[in-house]
Amino acid sequence: MTAEQPTVLTIILNYKTADMTLKSVEAALAAMDGIAGGILIVDNNSEDGSYETLSAHASKQGWDTGNRVRVIQSGRNGGFGAGNNVGIRTGLPGNVRPDYVYILNSDAFPAPEAIRVLLEHLQATPGTGFAGSYIHGPEGDTHLTQLPFPFHRQRIRGRDPLRTGQPPSEKPQSPD
């Protein structure tokens, strides 16, 4: 981490959901207010005009001024992980590596304070390697964003949160 204000790269993966992605960007911009870094929209080879729509809207809104929001194409649709890896490798403008990466799907909308709260937590607990926030879907419904680690232990014990629909705990989970 740098001695200056830490940087956060928010990656939003798009695949044929340009309108929803734009709403996600608006929520992410609000959550990034006062935080150094930027938002990178990765179009995962939509081939439906999404890239052009997203780029034009970013320019029209002035989001691309100062590189606060950038839009790139992945070149191929390798899935969620591959698309986000393209974003992580791209980093911030000038090939700057961010201190933190916040991964967001196009149908997810962080609360206005979500990224700031996560950043404060990560700075206060240097041993933390991974953290996630509550996010909401397009209709305001809460998305399940946490699973116990290691996940397979819960499945074996019959407490699979994906099956029950209930997160196992609201507290941070230790990997051991």
Q: What is the pLDDT of residues 74-126, one digit of tens each?
A: 999 999 999 999 999 998 888 889 999 999 989 888 888 889 988 998 999 88
The pLDDT value given to residue 133: 64
Across the chain, mean pLDDT equals 81
pTM: 0.77
Per the domain annotation, does 67 fall within a domain? yes
Fill in the amino acid letter for 70: R
Residue with the larger pLDDT of the pair 128 and 31:
31
68, 40 Cβ separation under 8 angstroms: no
Banded pLDDT at 176 (limits 50, 70, 90): very low
Per the domain annotation, does 154 fall within a domain? no
Rounded Cα–Cα distance for residues 63 and 127 (Å): 34
Per the domain annotation, does 169 fall within a domain? no
Q: How many domains does the chain have?
A: 1
Per the domain annotation, does 45 fall within a domain? yes
What domain range includes position 75? 7-127
Per the domain annotation, does 27 fall within a domain? yes
Per the domain annotation, does 69 fall within a domain? yes
The DSSP code sequence of the chain is --SSS-EEEEEEEESS-HHHHHHHHHHHHHHTTT-EEEEEEEE-S--SSHHHHHHHHHHHHTTTGGGSEEEEE-SS---HHHHHHHHHHH-BGGGBPPSEEEEEETT-EE-TTHHHHHHHHHHH-TT-------EE-TTSPEEP----SSHHHHHHTT--HHHH---S-SSPPP--
Residue 169 has pLDDT above 80, yes or no: no
Residue with the larger pLDDT of the pair 118 and 25:
25
Per the domain annotation, does 29 fall within a domain? yes
As given in the structure block, the two tokens for residue 159 are: 């407490």
What is the CATH number for 72? 3.90.550.10
Per the domain annotation, does 92 fall within a domain? yes
Picking from 118-127, 129-138, 146-155, which range would have the lowest pLDDT averaged per residue? 146-155
Question: Torsion over CA of 172, 114, 133 and 4, rounded to 10 degrees?
Answer: -70
